[in-house]
Amino acid sequence: MYARAGENGALWLGIAALARNRRAFGVVLAALLANTAIKQVVRRPRPDLGPELRPLSPTISSLSYPSAHATTSFAAAGALGGSVPLYAAAGAMALTRPYLGVHYPSDVVAGAMLGVALERLL
C-alpha cells in the first residue's frame, strides 16, 4: 500500500499540497517529468523474474531505469525540509521497489541520486 501511494509521486505531491509548499510541489513534478524523460531514453526493461515468479505490484510502465518512486521520494524529502524522518520515508519507499520485483537495485540508487540532484538544482 505504501508503494502504491508513491505512484507518480502522489504521496509527496499530497504532502506538499497539504503543507502549502509550492517549491516542494514543483520539485516533485519536475522530478517526475525528468524521470519519465530519462526512462524514455534509456528504455531499460523491468526485471524478468522468470516463469515461476511475478512482480508483487503492478506498474504503469514496462520501463525500469531510474525508479520514479525513488526519484520523487528523495526530491520531496529534500524539498520538504530534509529531515531524517523524511529521508527515512523516502528510503523506505525506494526499498519497496526491488522487494516488489519491479526494479533492479541500481534503478533505485539512480533514482535517489537523481531526486537529490534535482532538489538541489531547483
End-to-end CA distance of the chain: give it in Å, rounded.
30
Amino acid at 48: D
pLDDT of residue 60: 85
SS3 for 97? helix
pLDDT tens, residue by residue, 42-95: 999 999 888 887 877 888 888 999 999 999 999 999 999 999 999 999 999 999
Average pLDDT in the chain: 94
When pLDDT is averaged across residues 15-35 and rounded to a whole number, the result is 98
Is the model's pLDDT at 1 over the cut of 90? no
pLDDT of residue 52: 82
With a CB cutoff of 8 Å and minimum separation 6, the contacts of 39 are 61, 63, 64, 65, 66, 68
Entry pTM: 0.94
